[in-house]
Amino acid sequence: MSWNRPLIVGLLILLAALGWWRLQPGGGEIRQTRLLMGTTVEIVANGENRAQLKTAVADAFAEMERLDRLLSSHRDDSDIARLSQSATGATVSPESAEVIALGLEIARRSEGAFDLTLGRLTTLWDLDAPSPEVPDSQAIDAALAGVGPEALSLDGLQVKKRSPHLHIDLGGIAKGYVVDRAIAVLREGGVVSAAINAGGDMYLLGQRPQRPWRIGIQHPRQPDGVLEAVQIVDRAVVTSGDYERFFEQDGIRYHHLLDPGTGLPARACQSVSIITDSVALADALATAVFVLGPQKGLALLAEYPGAAGLIIAADGSRHATPNWSAYRSPL
């Protein structure tokens, strides 16, 4: 067995020639990094008024920290922890309800390929353990008992669970929502040019001084390779891939993108990149499409006209929405 965890947390490589985190800081650039939501979060903001930028960036981080306290499944006092611990459900904050509502919508449209109720399954796989192992089939079946889009319902701020053993996992959507809210705070603070990267969940606000943001998408089978580059203005970009968190056992790769139908890692794709106007939406769609595979995944993306997607299938073939080409940039 071998354990492979790339040094760059996230699913997008921002190479020096393409990226933004190695830009030489200028007189009007603020750059700050913090550990949040189990990953490295970096904000880069550009503008003439450095004091205004510093205040806006501090406010954005404060908002992310506040939301992390609500949405984290690793805090005993969070909305999500209380919901998982309850036998029947719980009343949650408006922010948690908004995330759950979007998650349930994607779950319905993807016919369960995206699923908020897989908390027991993700805990069972425990891919962050020092030496992860493939769970036995009986344990997987037990973790899947009672899960699915119908297992959770939302009425206003009241979340109801069909099973007392149901554990909620917002790992495929919450981080994106937190970035969306941080971008809103930057806008309210007068920032017109900024980038937030939360472990590969990214939003690019406005443009870098005098040119668009250019992002290199990691090649799923070449750790230091770039699949292609995209230019982004006022959009989110998220990639889900089988190379970010995985281990190998008996020559088989086991990764964190689990198929709710089998309880095993999804096998139809190597990576899925989504560009849209919301990081939360891009986050959830990337996961759903990865599970669905190219044909059904493209059909799902067609339901979201503003979304563009690039799918690398299990055999390495490329499949893209018609509007993906509008974002391509020369390497």
Tens-digit pLDDT profile for residues 257-270: 999 999 999 999 99
| Predicted model pTM | 0.91
Per-residue pLDDT band for 170 (boundaries 50, 70, 90) equals very high
Residue 223 backbone phi and psi in degrees, to 5: -55, -35
User: Mean of the pLDDT values across residues 179-192?
Assistant: 98
What's the confidence (pLDDT) of residue 331?
Answer: 77
Mean predicted confidence (pLDDT) in 80-106: 97
* The predicted structure's pLDDT at residue 173: 96
Q: What's the pLDDT score for residue 111?
A: 96
In this prediction, residue 19 carries a pLDDT of: 38
Do residues 304 and 105 touch, judged by C-beta distance below 8 A?
Answer: no
